[in-house]
Structure 1
Amino acid sequence: MSYVLPSNVPKREGQYLYRFSTKLLKWLGWRIEGQLPNRQQFIIAVAPHTSNWDFFLGVLVMFRLQLKVKFLGKHSIFVWPVKGLLTRIGGIPVERSHRHGVVGQMVEYFDRKEPLVLALAPEGTRSKVEQWKTGFLQIAYQANVPVVPIGFDFKKKAIVIMKPVVVDADIEQARIDFQQLFSQVCAKNPHLA
């Protein structure tokens, strides 16, 4: 599992978590395929998202890659005693039942031109959905940053990093295209994908 993070990608410090996650992923039989772009700003779209285990796998991969990432999570999980931990590893609580301009807020973050990698699950839930949310595509288009699709393939035990995608104004077509990219990736719970 010899993966080196490209030089421009925001890097997380901490050798202990790096070594621990590297050993655990290897012991569990997971491998990383592909390469992140050598950029300071991009969005990671992780799919399919059908289980709580996806989050824990994602955290292990984040520590293994030494990737400094921000991620959106429903506000209800940001409670004591895990709120501090979630915030420290990059979590941003989001109230999903109300529209608070999350897309606009994320675009503003990217417009600051500071290093930022934002990871999220396009489905927006672990339940089965026919159409993915388009917020991540709106953010990518408005902030002019690429989206890197990453599949968690539980059948192959592979973290599949796909080529970055530049999103244009046709958000609906982009949604369809993204769902197609993940059609061969086997979810933890395939019946929910």
Structure 2
Amino acid sequence: MLTEVQEIENLDTLTGLEELWLGKNKITELKNISHLSNLKILSIQSNRLPQITGLSNLPNLEELYISHNALTEISGLDSNVNLRVLDISNNKITHLANIGPLEHLEELWASSNLLSSFEEVERELAKKKELNTVYFEMNPLQLRSPALYRNKVRLGLPQIQQIDASMCQPFPLF
């Protein structure tokens, strides 16, 4: 485990590394990890990243934890088609654009952002057959109509089994 890292350096010899945990290190730019092609889990939470970069050469990446940063958009994940878990919570993200290539996404944690459109949630996520868990609490789309929020997500994303911390009950058959 690396601690107190302000810039990621000297990882050249760790080519077999499968997990990298870099939380709370004031990192502002993600670089020097493109040779870590065996990396499956990257946790870079609670840093100062303004954008997602440097991950295009990580084809085996399955879990990305990038919450509590300074992100305003999702980008730079086009090559990470094996991503199963994406945690972008507690950023300033306004749209779910650019997650189309993430066909194997199972969990999307996007709480405490600036997401406001149920239509966009449905458009970007409805075709993701493996997606079973979403977290959207504390976004404008949840805060505007908390009583309708869960039903709107369930109607737009019928494959979902868990919304925030609650399991979904099956819709009643008529």
Same fold per TM (> 0.5)? no
For normalisation by structure 2, the TM-score amounts to 0.29
For normalisation by structure 1, the TM-score amounts to 0.27
Structure 1 or 2: larger helix share?
Answer: 1
| Larger RCO, structures 1/2 (Cα 8 Å, 6+ apart) | 1
- Higher-Rg structure is 2
